[in-house]
Structure formats: C-alpha cells, structure tokens
C-alpha cells in the first residue's frame, strides 16, 4: 500500500486487482450493461491511482474504491440520461437449479425497482457485507439515515415480493 501511495504502478495494480470483480459487479448494477460497467472499472482504476495519496487510512482501501465506483457509475448513468432495464445477461446471478434461476432473476428485478440510495445500501450490506458504520462513511450519511433507508428498502422489497407471487413460480 505504501509503495502504491508513492506512485508505484505495479504495487497499485496488484492492490486494485484484488477488488476488480467487486468494482465491476457494483458498476454493473448501476449502468446495467457490460460495456459501461467496464468503462466504470477503467475510470475507477484511473481515478483511484491518481488520488491514492489522499487515502489516509489504508484499511479503508476497498471502501474508498467502492465510493469511487458508485460516483463514477452514477456519473455514467447521468451522462447517458437513460435508465435501461435490461433483462438479459443474468450470468452472475444464475445458478444451476431452475428455482434458483427464477429467484435470482426475480430478486434482481426487485432490486432494480429501488431508488438509487436504497439500492446502494442493500447491495453494500448484503452483497458486499459492509457494516452500517462502513456504509454510512462510504455514502457520507448519518448512521441512522443509512439504517432507515435500508429498512425502507427491505419493506419495499417484501411488499413487491408478496404482490408478485414470486414464491409460487
């Protein structure tokens, strides 16, 4: 980490590659297509390399990368001025059993219906295992706000899940 902060490209690349898949997954949730998600990963690599010297606590490297990822991904969405609800390319969610496929696709559709702040918190909490404290720091919001947004999002997901009769498919 120290070498990366001093401008060592190889050291930075080694660090960055540890979190590249997480960055891609997070970006994909926002931009909803492979090409834009890859562009976001590239932009995150550039931005984080350029600004790694500003990172004060080295143990928050992943959290810092996720924050940059969210910012870059939302910028891409704003720039494109489109919200495309794509249904193909569920490979990362698909498992081998049919019930899992249906449940995974349905869950992804439900998450897509959430507002951006709700989606961010749900993904950070349940897909990336961040604590509420880490989420509140990452998204720069009070701890109580992060919790209430998560509970609001979970209630929305429960309601949509029950209304959609997803369990019976």
pLDDT in tens, 75-85: 888 777 544 44
Res 107: pLDDT: 67
Q: How many CB atoms within 10 Å of residue 127?
A: 13
Q: How many CB atoms within 10 Å of residue 138?
A: 22
pLDDT tens digits, one per residue of 52-70: 888 888 788 888 999 999 9
Res 81: pLDDT: 59
Q: How far apart are CA 30 and CA 72, in angstroms?
A: 10
Q: At what angle do helices 61-80 and 34-51 cross, to 10 degrees?
A: 130
Task: Output b/e per residue, 65-98; b: 16+ Cβ within 10 A.
Answer: bbbbbbebbeebbeeeeeeeeeeeeeeeeeeeee
Structure tokens at 85: 């609800």
Q: How far apart are CA 90 and CA 100, in angstroms?
A: 12
**Residue 3: pLDDT over 80:** no
Q: Find the mean pLDDT for residues 92-118.
A: 60
Start-end of CATH 1.10.1740.10 domains in the chain: 1-82
Pick the CATH number of 97-169 from 1.20.1560.10, 3.60.20.30, 3.40.1280.10, 1.10.10.10: 1.10.10.10
> DSSP readout, 76-116?
HHHHHT------S--TTT--SSHHHHHHHHHHHHHHHTS-H
Q: How far apart are CA 24 and CA 54, in angstroms?
A: 23
**Residue 156: pLDDT over 50:** yes
Start-end of CATH 1.10.10.10 domains in the chain: 97-169
Cα→Cα distances 6→3, 51, 53, 104, Å: 5, 11, 7, 43
Helix (H) / strand (E) element for 3: namely: helix 2-5
Q: Are 30 and 43 in contact (CB under 8 A)?
A: no
CATH for 1-82 is 1.10.1740.10
């Amino acid at each position: 980490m120290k070498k990366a902060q001093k401008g060592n490209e190889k050291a930075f690349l080694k660090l960055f590659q540890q979190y590249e898949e997480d960055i891609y997954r997070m970006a994909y949730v926002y931009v909803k297509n492979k090409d834009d998600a890859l562009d976001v990963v590239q932009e995150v690599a550039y931005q984080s390399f350029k600004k790694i010297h500003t990172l004060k606590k080295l143990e928050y490297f992943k959290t810092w990368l996720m924050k940059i990822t969210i910012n870059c991904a939302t910028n891409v969405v704003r720039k494109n001025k489109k919200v495309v609800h794509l249904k193909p390319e569920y490979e990362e969610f698909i498992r081998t059993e049919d019930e899992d496929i249906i449940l995974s696709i349905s869950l992804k559709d439900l998450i897509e219906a959430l507002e951006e702040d709700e989606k961010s918190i749900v993904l950070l909490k349940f897909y990336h295992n961040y604590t509420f404290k880490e989420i509140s720091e990452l998204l720069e919001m009070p701890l109580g706000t992060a919790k209430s947004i998560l509970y609001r999002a979970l209630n929305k997901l429960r309601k949509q899940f029950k209304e959609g009769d997803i369990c019976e498919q």
